[in-house]
Amino acid sequence: MNSIFNLKGKVALITGGGGVLGSNMAIVLAKQGVITGIVGLTIEEAEATVARVVAVGGEAFAVKSNVLNKEDLEVTRDFVMEKYGRLDILINAAGGNMPGATIGPDQAIYDMQLAHLQKVLDLNIIGTMLPSQVFSEIFAKQKSGIIINISSASAQRPLSRVVGYSASKAAIDNFTKWMSVELAGKYGEGLRVNAIAPGFFIGEQNRALLLSPDGSLTPRGEKIIEHTPMGRFGIPEDLDGVLLFLCSDMSKFVTGIVVHVDGGFAATSI
């Protein structure tokens, strides 16, 4: 397959590859000829995305690994190197939120549950830092490699209620910049670290928050659309162009940035 992005034959790993955005990213890369590893907390979750990739003619493999367990990640790293001899792209798409780290309309900060907050912080920021630490060892030896982190519209513009999620995604923005300097400064220009900050995309975790059972907008959903100039929620395919740009030599002099794909949400003011 000829492509201006020239990704054919490269090897990628996607943590959280069973999610809505992660699975779509796997399909997009596979269509460009990338051999795509799907990292899931369960093998069934990962294999479901592999099946979707294979259905469109791509090549993929499933790996069961916990992004919060360094030993798990090291096993995955060794497996990839033994099977393919290299790794070119790491996408840290694992993440999430929990009810106890969210402040409801009738709650206050005093109601936040510490255990839930800790899980959200761990999953989003530690679940980004730890894979980056483990797999960047390959990149350092190769003198090449790309890391793409997944930030959020709530990172630089904190949203009401989602205190834990917003704080952890803001930490990802900071880590992206730090890691970009660390890797390029020590190992050369072939190592790049960037992030994508999606706006509001409908997923299983936020569907009930944004949409009523009949598909109409909830009050929260209405406020978000009011502050999104393009007037709609994102769909996974909206990330395709930015993903391919950051994974390819089209962005070979780009590192340490966070690209907002949010329909103008971050640019809006009252």
Instruction: Catalogue the active-site residues.
Output: 165
Cα–Cα distance for residue pair 197/192, rounded to 1 Å? 17
Do the Cβ atoms of 258 and 194 come closer than 8 Å? yes
Cα–Cα distance for residue pair 227/254, rounded to 1 Å? 29
* Contact partners, residue 241, CB within 8 Å, separation at least 6: none
Do the Cβ atoms of 41 and 64 come closer than 8 Å? yes
Cα–Cα distance for residue pair 247/244, rounded to 1 Å? 5
Give the closest residue to 199 by CA, choosing from 224, 176, 177, 223. Answer: 224
CA-CA-CA-CA torsion sign (194, 199, 202, 206): positive
Question: What φ, ψ does residue 197 adopt, rounded to 5°?
Answer: -110, 95
- In sequence order, the β-bridge partners of residue 212 are none
